[in-house]
Amino acid sequence: MINSCPAMVQIFEISKVNHYRRFLAQLGSAIDFGSDKWVFDKRMRSGAECKGAFTLYFTAIPGEHKEMIKYYCITCFINGAAVKSVGLKLFSLSTYCRFLNDCHPESRRFEISHRFAYEYCGWLNRSAYAENTKSTLWYNMDSFCRMMRGWDPGISVNPFSENPYSTNPRHNYKYIHENTIKQLDTAFLTENIMLHVRCAYWIMRLIPSRINEVLGMKVDCLKPYNGHFCLFIPTWKQNGGYFKPELRVIHIQETGIAAELLQLIRRQQDIAESGYRTLEDKQQGYLFTFQKCFQRRNGRIDFCKDFMVATDAHIRSEFTRVCENNNILDEKGSIFHFTPHQLRHNGITDRLAAGFTPEQIRFMTAQHGSAMIHKAYNHLDLLPEVIADKQRYVLGKAAGENPSQILFGGRILNMEEQLEKRLLKNIRAHKILGGICGDITGCKSDMFFCLDCKHFIPDAEQLDYFVSQADSWLLKAKQFSEFQRIKSNAEENARLFKAVAEKIVGLTGGIRNG
């Protein structure tokens, strides 16, 4: 097998076409290279996953380009890409093919050139695609050019290396606002919603999870332990994509809303156990097994004798039905539509607002790092009143005060004792170059612009570092004096480092720790 390590990305080689075709057998049990439909049933990880989500269709690709794009897709799989990811790449290529057909119908080649890329950019700008979609389409063309440069001499340049479309990893529209989430909570407490739909909602509402993790839960997912209960939720996202999931354990006390969640799960277990024998072997044993039914306009539900396992598409459809039937409105007064993943964004943001540490959230969500928590799931900027209230409570001072603080001799000078203990207890989670961050939860930068931030607490031991950096940037400013833009940037960096050094000297008199 070809090494799929990110540092050794496989590039298509014509000499290995037989290897690529043989590799298809590892992905699906009956994939024909010449077919326009590839079903990757061997990539399905649980009976709750829909076969349609593991199928690629090449019908939108013109015949003269189809063979090349099929080899590209196989190469992506060899590099470890998931079916969904390859599906997005295939969509990007079919979009480029549509552009070629619209703007250059006389061309029969899959032409890549700077002129065509420029025209493609204009074509995308005239389209109705969102900015983030345009960025993804462009990025996938860049990936294609880098990987398939050995296919045809015409693919010798990569005009897609510079992406003209911006992309923001934090999408605030994914956070459900307070008034809307209250409407949803009220609706999902009612008995007229099917039990498995309510159970899925409240698990994701109370325990930040991905929909495929929740639907992959087994019937025996709940175990008593030492006076409370342990809920076992599988995750495939953080274990390298292996079919056998990691199990994260959520400890639940049977009190309050948690007791109601446990009751929902127990009732769902009874339904799943009563119907699992009617299912195929691959679908047996899953918690979200439910009896097929039809819901009439008057609210009455008629059940069939057949059972099935809930899929992502089914839960999304039922969530839409709940919003429509209960007239749940967004802030603009329109019927609200949401995805299960938005509940994960709300769960993580609400816990940050409640004072949970990144480590606690990582343990709950099975994230292997804090980067995604801070960048993608942190929507505290939508809750400025929460941040202000917590700062006033913790600091015990009027809003707006910002005393100079530095780390010196294991203490943070000019910081209230309660906040200092909290920060120092979790100092590794807040450690940044040259010091620590006093409030990382509201940070919107990539940690490269800390020097001028009011939450940056420089380390007195790093005084020589800040002084040397200031001198170094001043030297660069002199060296590039004829280039005004470079000079201005260098002078600004020198100013920032110098200001930090002066802050340390002002509070310590230049005395080093120890």
Each residue's pLDDT tens digit, 96-151: 999 998 998 887 778 888 889 999 999 999 999 888 889 999 999 999 988 887 67
Secondary structure of 460-483 in HEC code, one letter for each residue: HHHHHHHHHHHHHHHHHHHHCCCC
pLDDT at 107: 75
Encoded tokens for 428: 């590794």
Encoded tokens for 352: 């940050």
pLDDT tens for the 514 residues of the chain, in order = 333 333 345 677 777 888 888 888 888 898 999 999 999 988 888 878 888 889 999 999 988 889 999 999 998 988 888 898 999 999 999 999 999 989 988 877 788 888 899 999 999 999 998 888 899 999 999 999 888 876 766 677 888 988 888 665 555 568 888 889 999 999 999 888 899 999 999 999 999 898 989 999 999 999 998 889 999 999 876 544 456 788 888 889 888 888 999 999 999 999 999 887 788 878 889 999 988 777 666 666 677 778 889 999 899 999 999 999 999 988 788 899 998 989 988 888 888 777 677 777 777 776 666 666 666 666 766 666 665 555 555 444 444 445 677 666 666 666 666 666 666 665 545 566 667 666 555 454 444 457 777 777 888 888 888 888 889 888 888 887 777 767 777 788 888 888 888 888 887 765 555 4
E runs forming strands in 153-245: 222-225, 228-235
Distances 6 to 1, 3, 27, 252, 366 between C-alpha atoms, Å:
15, 9, 20, 38, 22
Distance, in Å, from the CA atom of 350 to the CA atom of 266, rounded to the nearest integer, reads: 27
Distances 27 to 248, 417, 440 between C-alpha atoms, Å:
27, 58, 42
pLDDT at 329: 86
CATH number of 173-359: 1.10.443.10
pLDDT at 171: 58
Long-range contacts made by residues 370-375, C-beta under 8 angstroms, separation at least 24?
Answer: 370/429, 373/348, 374/440, 374/441, 374/443, 375/169, 375/170, 375/446
E runs forming strands in 323-426: 407-408, 411-412
Beta bridge partners of 459: 407
Phi, psi of 398 (to 5 degrees): -65, 145
Q: Three-state DSSP class for 371?
A: helix
Q: What is the pLDDT of residues 273-312, one digit of tens each?
A: 988 778 887 888 999 998 877 766 666 667 777 888 999 9
Distance, in Å, from the CA atom of 42 to the CA atom of 31, rounded to the nearest integer, reads: 11
Other C-beta atoms lying within 10 Å of the C-beta of residue 498: 18
E runs forming strands in 40-79: 55-57
Residue at 470: amino acid letter: A
Residue 157 parent element (H or E): none
DSSP for 330-354 reads -TTSSBP---HHHHHHHHHHHHHHT
Distance, in Å, from the CA atom of 481 to the CA atom of 490, rounded to the nearest integer, reads: 10
Give exposure, 453-469, as e/b (b: 16+ Cβ within 10 Å): eebbbbbbbbbebbbeb
Q: Three-state DSSP class for 305?
A: strand
pLDDT at 271: 92
Distance, in Å, from the CA atom of 272 to the CA atom of 288, rounded to the nearest integer, reads: 7
Distances 372 to 93, 207, 383 between C-alpha atoms, Å:
28, 17, 19
pLDDT at 411: 65
Quickly tell me which residue has 């809307």 as its tokens: 180
Q: Comparing C-alpha atoms, which of 231, 205, 201, 237 is closest to residue 218?
A: 231
Encoded tokens for 76: 């992506």
pLDDT at 398: 43
Domain ranges of the chain: 6-147, 173-359, 400-514
pLDDT at 281: 79
For 276, which DSSP code?
A: G
- Based on its alpha-carbon atoms, the radius of gyration of the chain, rounded to whole angstroms, reads 28
Q: Comparing C-alpha atoms, which of 440, 441, 493, 500 is closest to residue 465?
A: 500
Residue 192's Cβ-side half-sphere holds a number of Cα atoms within 13 Å equal to 12
Q: Comparing C-alpha atoms, which of 36, 39, 100 is closest to residue 69?
A: 36
pLDDT at 348: 84
Secondary structure of 309-335 in HEC code, one letter for each residue: ECCHHHHHHHHHHHHHHCCCECCCCCE
Q: Comparing C-alpha atoms, which of 266, 152, 243, 261 is closest to residue 205?
A: 261
Distances 502 to 191, 456, 491, 508 between C-alpha atoms, Å:
64, 14, 16, 10
